Structure 1
Amino acid sequence: MRFTRSTLTFAALAGVLVATPSALVTPAVAFPDATPQGVCGRGYATVNSMPVGSLGTVYLTYNSSNGQNCVATIRNKPGRAVDMSVWIDVPDTGNAAQDYGQYTSHAGPAYVYGKGHCVNWGGHIDNRYVQVYNSNCALREHRVTFTR
């Protein structure tokens, strides 16, 4: 039996498609690092958080072995890219960090050294903003939420 080149090409392509159907399917969960520890890294424990309405949460984490704070804004339902941000600053030292852009699942990480200091932090998803001042210290914490 003789095969033409187009018949062999079709048979090879059909074999690849049958053998690897998962290559054509996008996984339902494509955001394995969308947890505070996944975004910030090993050794970081969540010490505070604030919901961004029903859209997600901004997390403040701390690593006791290096004195670093990390913040991450994580969406509840990843999807199309939207404006997101995260920021943190230590007023006593002037150290600050931020991340801003269009993201599908999370903004961050942003790191500062904060051992023994109050920290200010916050973030946003789409048009909802949250800010926390005098956090994780002896001062009274102040929380702000607004929509733009």
Structure 2
Amino acid sequence: MIKKHLATVLAATVLAGGFVGLSAGAAHAYPRVNKCGSAYNFKQSWDITDDHIYEVVGFIDIYYNSGNGYNCAIARGNDATVTGHRQIGVAIRRSGTSDWIQDGPGNNYTSYAGPVYAYAKGACIDFAGELTYYEFTGYGLNTYSSKHCG
């Protein structure tokens, strides 16, 4: 159910054009570690922001392998903000397609989700991340989606 929920949320968010501001990651986040492979170069991180507390709760990192044309996405939590139990999900697809490649929901990942890969040489990718957490302040379901070209 959660896995299906992520795909629904991610697709709806992308179709609705919901975007959150872009920025670099915070110092106390789960460290950005290239889980995609040594041939993948880091491109950029995007924030997953909780719209209720207006804080960054996680990040989506995008990598690219120019040798094979694959993009890679990883979602990770921000330990400086989210200290309780969390579930993390990530999804990626070549723009213009309907098939999301996803990881995380239902697997109880607490540090990061992914890597997930999509072939998009010379094309753009859509990607999305989700961080659900439970703390003393309650529950947060936070999603981010965007498009990356290049």
Bigger RCO of structures 1 and 2 (CA < 8 A, at least 6 apart): 2
Q: What is the deviation of 1:83?
A: 2.1
TM-score w.r.t. structure 2 length?
Answer: 0.60
Corresponding residue for 1:136? 149
Distance, in Å, in 1 between the alignment partners of 2:69 and 2:31 is 23
Q: How does 1:1-148 map to 2 (within 5 A)?
A: 34-37=31-34, 39-53=35-49, 54-77=56-79, 81-92=85-96, 96-101=100-105, 102-126=108-132, 127-133=141-147, 135-137=148-150
Distance, in Å, in 2 between the alignment partners of 1:71 and 1:61 is 6
1:128–1:92 Cα change, 3 Å: closer
- Structure 1, unpaired ranges of 5+: 1-32, 138-148
Mean CA deviation greater in 120-129 or 77-86: 77-86
Aligned length: 103
1:105–1:44 Cα change, 3 Å: same
Could you list the per-position Cα deviations for residues 84-132 of structure 1 after superposition, in whole angstroms to 9, with x for gaps in the alignment? 1101111345554111232110011100111101110010111111000
Which one has the largest radius of gyration?
A: 1
The Cα RMSD (Å) is 2.2
1:94–1:118 Cα change, 3 Å: same
Corresponding residue for 1:12? none
Q: What is the deviation of 1:70?
A: 0.4
Q: Residues 130 and 142 of structure 2 are in contact (CA less than 8 Å); yes or no, is this contact kept in structure 1?
A: yes
Distance, in Å, in 2 between the alignment partners of 1:51 and 1:123 is 9
* Partner secondary structure for residue 41 of structure 1: coil
Q: What is the deviation of 1:52?
A: 1.0
* Partner secondary structure for residue 104 of structure 2: strand
- Structure 2, unpaired ranges of 5+: 1-29, 50-55, 133-140
TM-score w.r.t. structure 1 length?
Answer: 0.61
Q: Residues 82 and 125 of structure 1 are in contact (CA less than 8 Å); yes or no, is this contact kept in structure 2?
A: yes
Q: Residues 77 and 88 of structure 2 are in contact (CA less than 8 Å); yes or no, is this contact kept in structure 1?
A: no
The structure 1 segments of at least 4 consecutive aligned residues displaced by more than 2 Å after TM superposition are 33-36, 78-81, 91-96
